[in-house]
Structure 1
Amino acid sequence: MVKPIVKDILFLGQKSEETTKNDISVVDDLMDTLRANLEICVGLAGNMIGVKKRILVFAIGNFIVPMINPVILKKEKPHEIEESCLSLIGFRKTKRYEMIEVEYLDRNFKKQKQVFTGFTAQIIQHEMDHFEGIII
């Protein structure tokens, strides 16, 4: 189900909780909501649709990848970049890493480990900041 995007800074500033198999509908809602916003958005975190769970989704073209309880294991090549967020107005400077290695659960709750670089790595880091209540 497509959900409205949360813009409440107080809500977005709260930390997210671990996701369980009982939260699978949130994964589907995030995927549906991102699909509906692909023209203006490349990633979403659970709190952006009002659910404080450690779930993110990101788009590679029209393909949407969900990550449940992701953890960054390794990060390399820090750099400063400007980003925007669907929950906020304007752009802000932030630090990101060019390469990250992430361990996460896929939609079937199977453990995955993968290296991401460039813009995809940036999206994942941005959405994971949402889990910690960090708003760029």
Structure 2
Amino acid sequence: MKYPVTVYGDPLLRKKAKAIEKDHPKLDEIIENMWETMYYSDGVGLAAPQVGLSIRLFVIDASSGADEEPELEGFKKVFINPEIIETKGDEWTMNEGCLSLPEIREDVSRHDEVTIKYLDENFVEHTETYKGFAGRVIQHEYDHLEGILFVDYLSPLRKRLLKGKLIAISKGKVRPHYRIKVPK
């Protein structure tokens, strides 16, 4: 089932998500629905708060970056209760977008490397380090669990210039090809 994507203006996107337990109701179904929603929406990552669930879960399929980073071939992972241990390396800027901010893309600087501890869909614990595109997507999705959106990294001037677009999104005056849930 494809979830509607929660968009800018919904207070849920600004809340810190809650940890989940292995016996979380219908977790397998939630994960499967998140994959379906992400692929349908042409995303490379999707965090649970983006589909109206304030739980610490995100999914990433970064295999689209395999042309430039061959190690991303088949990179498809579920991250449950993740915790970023460290970010390091040079910051680099890349144009980012977000399913919760349709029609907005902006340059965002992030560290090149991230070390993250998380549970996979079988609740097996991992601690891994990622660089490049995978590291960037992980940082972006992790931010959703902390109530942070990529526009929060923009300069005050840039945010002011985007204000009209952000208001339009919060009022549902955008028409992405996927279903959205507009704040009430």
Q: Is TM > 0.5 for Structure 1 vs Structure 2?
A: yes
User: Which residue does the alignment assign to 1:51?
Assistant: 53
- Are 2:34 and 1:30 equivalent residues in the alignment? yes
User: Which residue does the alignment assign to 1:4?
Assistant: 4
Is contact 1:26-1:51 (8 Å) kept? no
Greater strand share, structure number: 1
TM-score, length-scaled by structure 2: 0.66
Among all aligned residue pairs of Structure 1 and Structure 2, give the percentage whose two residues are the same amino acid: 29
Q: Which residue identity does 2:45 align to in structure 1?
A: G
Unaligned runs of 5+ in 2: 65-73, 151-184
Q: Distance in 2 between matches of 1:126 and 1:73?
A: 15
Q: Which moved more, 1:20-29 or 1:124-133?
A: 20-29
Quote the offset at 1:8 in angstroms: 4.2
User: Which residue does the alignment assign to 2:21?
Assistant: 20
- Are 2:148 and 1:134 equivalent residues in the alignment? yes
Written as runs of structure 1 = structure 2, the 5 A alignment for 1:1-136 is: 1-9=1-9, 10-21=11-22, 22-23=24-25, 24=27, 25-37=29-41, 40-61=42-63, 63=74, 64-77=76-89, 78-88=91-101, 89-136=103-150
Quote the offset at 1:91 in angstroms: 1.8
SS at match of 1:48: helix
Structure 1: 4+ residue segments shifted above 4 A? none
Aligned length: 134
TM-score, length-scaled by structure 1: 0.88
Say which one has the larger Rg.
2
Unaligned runs of 5+ in 1: none
